[in-house]
Structure formats: structure tokens, C-alpha cells
Amino acid sequence: MDQREALASSWSKNAENWTRAVREGLIPSRGAGTDDAIVEAICCRKPQSFLDVGCGEGWLVRRIVKRTGCHALGIDGSAQLIADARQADPDGRYQVVDYRELVERRAGFDESFDVIAFNYALFDEEASRLLEAIRPYLSAGGRIVIQTLHPWALSREGHYLDAWRREDFSAFKNQDWTSMPWYFRTLASWHDVIRNAGLMMAELREPAAKPGGLPLSLLLICAAFEQLEEKRSEISDCREDPADGNQ
């Protein structure tokens, strides 16, 4: 089994643990600000349609629909996580779709979305291929919102190079998790991923628990290259009206 297959397999094997960790608030960074950061980045665009790629047990879809009333779809490669999402949100739309199906254009849906999110869901070495494949699903003026581990979070460990690493989930202090390979990227590498996918970075945010604090995550707001070239005036995205995020 190669690293990409092991990564996909780990999500399915850890599905029950992921659902418990999310619903019981066992991931400190989420409460400290990463959840609110991506919710605000999405909601301030006032989307009419929303796609959550790697939606897990569906928490982000539920929050966005509650805040905006938009038409939403959550997709994930884990059948168990999608079952958990449907159980929590019977009226929501959730579909089992793995990344290979997206890249090979076999996703099974044909619609466009104002915002497409990848919330801690881009851990593959070939992230550019996935982003390039999802780009046609963006509506005119749409945005792709990516939240991921901030590269500087591991900078003190040295070896600030793109490479496969492994998460053993030891912070959860139990032995129920299957270790997960994931691909670490430098900040420069993330820039290359975006560019190689035919996207441009409209905005970069570094959510922190408090002003001046260390970043909790890296949040990238991207647009299709041709769209951003046509609408340079929108590069500031939602910052023109910060009150929008508090509706």
C-alpha cells in the first residue's frame, strides 16, 4: 500500500474516532479558533451554494447551512463518516466520493458552487491535481477556501522541507487510532500548489487564538486565475465589510 492509499484507508479506519473527537470537542485548536476562522471565511461571501470536500461527519455543512441557508453538499471518501453526517443531518446532502473519483471526473454530480472548502482535507502529495479537478465546479466569482496546518507549526523540528510525515494521534492518549501518513508542505510549496492548479491566492489568513498570538492554522482563499484577473477589485474579498461575518 502506497502513502496515498494508506492515507485514504486511515480516514475510514478512524471514522468512529473522528466523529467522537469532533462532537466531544477533543481537538483544542478547533475551539481556539480554527472552526470559527473557516466558518467566517465562507459565510462572509454569502454563498448560495457550498461544497465541503472531505466533509467528515458534516459539522461544517451544518454550520454553514444554519448561518446562510445555502444549498450545500458534503462529500467524503469514508462511507462511515458520510453515514454519521446523514444521521446527524437527515435533511442534508452527503455523498460518498473519494479523491480519485474527483480527479478522474467521476464524482456523480454536475453543479457549480459559490464556495468550495477543504478544511484540513488536503494531505495528499498531489494536491494540485485535486484542486485542478475541482476548479470547474466553481461558479463565476466563486472561491476555494483551504484551511490546513500552518507550516511554521513544525518549523522548530527542523527539516523544513516537503515530505511525507506520520500522525500517530498520541495527543488523544488512547490506542484506538490508526496512524495516518500526511504530506507536509512549506509555505512556498503551498503557493506552488495553488498556482499549478490554475488558481490564484486572493487572500491568506493566519487565524490565532488572540491578537499577536502564534497562528493556529493557514487559511488560503483562492480563485480561478481567469476570474481573479477579471476582477482585481475583489482581491480584498470580505474585508471591505467585516460586519458581514457576524450576521
- Domain containing residue 154: CATH number: 3.40.50.150
**Residue 244 falls within a domain, yes or no?**
no
Provide the pairing of β-strand 138-148 with 180-184: unpaired
Q: Strand pairing partners for 180? A: 167
**Residue 240 falls within a domain, yes or no?**
no
pLDDT in tens, 82-113: 999 999 999 999 999 999 999 998 888 889 99
The residues, ordered by sequence, that sit 6+ positions from 97 with a Cβ below 8 Å of its Cβ are: 75, 76, 77, 107, 108, 109
pLDDT at 116 over 90: yes
DSSP 31: I
Provide the pairing of β-strand 163-167 with 138-148: unpaired
pLDDT in tens, 5-57: 999 999 999 999 999 999 999 899 999 999 999 999 999 999 999 999 999 99
**Residue 20 falls within a domain, yes or no?**
yes
Residue of 65, 40, 66, 33 lying closest to 51 (CA atoms): 65
User: Residue 24 sits in which domain range?
Assistant: 3-234
What pLDDT score was predicted for residue 236? 52
In the chain, the number of structural domains is 1
**Residue 184 falls within a domain, yes or no?**
yes
**Residue 213 falls within a domain, yes or no?**
yes
Distances (CA, A) of 110 to 44, 165, 177, 237: 25, 35, 35, 26
**Residue 239 falls within a domain, yes or no?**
no
What pLDDT score was predicted for residue 246? 43
**Residue 241 falls within a domain, yes or no?**
no
